[in-house]
Chain A
Amino acid sequence: MSINNFSKVVIVAKDEWRYWFRSKLAMTVLAIGLVLTLASVIVTAITMMELSHSRHELQTSAEQSFVDQPDRHPHRMVHYGHYAFRTPSPLSTLDPGIDAYTGNSIFLEGHRQNSAMFADSRQGTALTKLGSLTPAFIVQTLAPLLLILIGYSAISRERESQTLSYLLSQGTSGATLIAGKGLALISVVGLILIPLTVSALFTLGSGEGLLAVASFVLGYALYLTVWVLLVLLASSVFSKNSGSFTTLAFVWILLCIVIPRVASTTASTASTAVPSAGKIETDFAVKAELRKLGDGHNTNDPAFKQFKQSLLTKYNVSSIDELPVNFRGLVASESEAKLTSVLNKFAQQRMQAELNQTKVSRYFGWVSPMVAIRSLSMIVVGTSIETHHRFLRETEQLRFDFVQGLNKVHVEKLSYQDDMNRNADTAATQKARVSAQNWQILQDFTFNVDTPEVRTQRSIPAFLQLVLWIAVLLGGIKFVGRRLL
């Protein structure tokens, strides 16, 4: 494009802004849009920071109370257990995603994998079923409506008031006119993105990577560009303002309100291809498999016969009483390891099933840019289902480590005889204890989301979806632009 052409484009864009400044409707819509975006950025940032702070605190106090426990039988501590809390990622101040929909704390104990408890949505008012005051919702759903309201008549208005033929005959090409109107709308997009970008840049201070911040802002810029192009296309195609408006309103309802829900509904119910059994249901299967492993509390369980024999051979003794280590602890440790591998197998299956479901709903990004940006945003921010799965995996590792750490203490620091006598009388119970020093085996836990690189890589399909939308729309506008009259 030559310089001359570009300055023409700028003139058209300036003129569009002049028109908006004179229109009460456009100014009201713009003001409301900006206020909402700003308010959502501030409110969500405060909420998420408070959440992050309180979960950090809970995590520290959980670790403290574990370490502060008195002298005990080590297996008591296995059942005393530990708590892990999911601290939200820095960028979640812009898109809390599924944070409120999954439990945010998990109780870790021996022999069991508990599910996460206390989802915030269960303490909610059910008022935010349709939408919430988060930047993600405002920009994904309401910003397109704003663009429609101020832009639907961009070209059709000129046509309806018969200034279009005049403009075109004066030497302004159709492409220049559309580009100018587009530039004006893009500048509105820029305005909307300012609070988002500023807030995103702030997260750099709390450890977020530049790549994630850049992907986040770029994703939203692409998404709103899709809407700018849609508005331009409709406005160029229709000869009347009302036709352009009705079509755009209809498209908005379809893409922003209907398809996202159709996507999630299809993924969870209509598609019997990927059903996901609940935890209770898989627990039955887990239990059946575990029964074969034997009960780790009961050293006489026939399942441990072979284990016992191999130990006797290893230490070259004839009975378990002669073993230099605590047999009960060894059984506990052995059975915990086996049990965990079974539990992990089933947990892995469940997560995979959930992931498959989610993928089905994400495919709808090809038909609705809103679905694309929704997944992109949650993935990049680190509030998608993958993050929750990561939390489950990391806490499982934490659980296994501290339980096996305690079992090691059980094996090495508690004599088998004392252990067997533990219920005889009060003195024997006292004797079957180990020092509280041993509780230091607990490792500090801080949950961190995947690295920015991993998250960005995961969001590539969603980026492609948006880019495809833009390419198709640009093609359409080019086609229409040549035949504007």
Chain B
Amino acid sequence: MSYLLKQLVREWRFLLRQKYLVVLLVCTFVMSGFAVYSGLSEVTQQKQTIERLKAADLTDLTNVQHKYDDAGSLAYYSFHLTYSSPSNLAFAALGERDIYPWKHRLNLLALEGQIYESDAQNAELAQAGKIDFVFVLSALAPLVIILLFHDLFASERTSGRHDLLATTAKSYFALWGARITVRFIAVIICLMLPFYVGAFISSSVLGDVGFITFICVIYLAFWTLLSVWWGKNASSAPRVASTLIGFWVLVAFIIPILGDLAINKVVHSPKGGDIVLTQREAVNGAWDIPKQITMDAFVANHPKWANYTDMQSEFEWKWYYAFQQVGDEKAAKLSHAYQDAARKKYSLAGFVSWLSPPLLLQRGLTRMAKTDAVAAFRYESQMRGFHKSLRTFYYPWLFVKGNPPKAALENMPSFSKTILNEQKKLSNVLAQPEQNLSAN
């Protein structure tokens, strides 16, 4: 044991004396630290924004409820905040949150006209891409590993020490094993230390942190073994490194780019513009056709209101919201196709990423951090669900009961409550599977 330790200590001292290795390791540490720091501040900003929006949203809603009494105007002027909070791991994988929206305000008007609005961040910065822990780990760490390990044998060979070292060392491990181990552990520490600090600050789940560590070690071990193996018999270090970097370019850039081209050729998606155009024609056309046609189309899908479609005037709110919903329903097919295409593209990309370890890692970690496209799709369906619950709330007042008393407004759906209930339901399902089955 002490013998092994002695080898490791020797190699460790050796490492510290090689300036370029130390520079490389320090740079790795600084990069990882910067990525975690900026990830943390980005997530804090997002959380603060959501809190500010919640407060402003509530004030706005209260104002509207003071000002209007009839259900139609209330529904027209009340906007409801929906949002998707960053998870505890989001700091490490900011993911697609700069591309997909994570905040929205909705009212009872046609959803298809509202849901594609986006409150995106600065497009030029999004295009450059952000640096986050996942990026450092998946894209940069392999390069660091290549620089650290490619000349393990070649440098000794060119300086003519290789054979001497190999014959005098007690065992293979005592020399190369110890050197590899020391360098590998040093990289892991430089990379992961900032992540652990970040995880502690944002109180991530311990199990997640452990799992991410596990994945990282495997991923980096893959690149280390590749670099060591490729350089085993070589005598020219640059040659080894160029091939390895070439391989990195292949898996990080070329394969994903080709995959992207192929997927975009295979999956056809309706143009987004067509959805809103269809919806708009339907909604605006309603003003020019007899009211009964709209009402019939509405009742066909919502027979519950069949007895309440009579109109006393040329304008009534129930007709107004009915044609909004009919507009949504007319565009539903296109809208579904549009969503399906996005989902299909993302899931097909999953197959491609098996050929590209950096992307596989990115997908895996953004999935864990709930910052990927799947999380964005989920947020979209939460919004759709919430909009549905708004309709469920307003329709009885609009069609049957007339103006809601102020007390009834307390039952107005709010997005925060909706997602809270959803979580509760989910944990109930997980906790009592038998009961759930018997209930079905």
Contact = CB atoms under 8 A, between A and B. Distances in A.
B413 interface: no
B205 interface: no
Interface string B210-223: 00000000000000
B346 A101 contact: no
A201 B237 CA distance: 42
B399 interface: no
A125 B314 contact: no
Interface size on A, as a range, is 35 or more
Interface in B313-330: 313-315
B60 A287 contact: yes
A122 B122 contact: no
B127 A245 contact: no
B191 to A, nearest CB: 14
Contacts of B346: 125-126
Contacts of B239: 25
A358 B122 contact: yes
B128 interface: yes
Contact of B52 (A130, A258, A268, A281): A281
A423 B256 contact: no
B373 interface: yes
Contact of A76 (B241, B257, B284): B284
A102 B123 contact: yes
A81 interface: yes
B84 interface: no
B402 interface: no
A264 B128 contact: yes
A315 interface: no
A261 B314 contact: no
Interface stretch (A5-13, A169-177, A400-408, A424-432): A424-432
Interface stretch (A218-226, A270-278, A410-418, A449-457): A270-278
Interface residues of B, number: 97
Contacts of B352: 125, 127
A428 to B, nearest CB: 7
Contacts of B34: 262, 265
B140 A25 contact: no
Given A119-B99, A246-B20, A287-B60, A281 B38 contact: no
B349 A257 contact: no
B323 to A, nearest CB: 13
Nearest to B245: A249
Contact of B259 (A70, A81, A127): A127
A396 interface: no
A18 B259 CA distance: 37
Interface stretch (B129-137, B161-169, B173-181): B129-137
Contacts of A241: 236-238
Given A72-B288, A127-B260, A265-B131, A278 B154 contact: no
Interface in A208-247: 240-242, 244-246
A103 interface: yes
Interface string A122-141: 11111111111100000000
A226 to B, nearest CB: 19
Name the 6 nearest CB pairs between A and B, nearest first: A118-B272, A125-B349, A245-B238, A264-B128, A261-B131, A127-B256
Given A258-B131, A266-B38, 12 more contacts: A101-B123, A101-B126, A102-B123, A122-B376, A128-B257, A131-B257, A241-B237, A242-B158, A242-B237, A262-B34, A280-B81, A284-B56
12 contacts: A76-B284, A101-B126, A115-B117, A125-B349, A128-B260, A261-B128, A265-B34, A268-B125, A280-B53, A358-B125, A425-B314, A429-B314
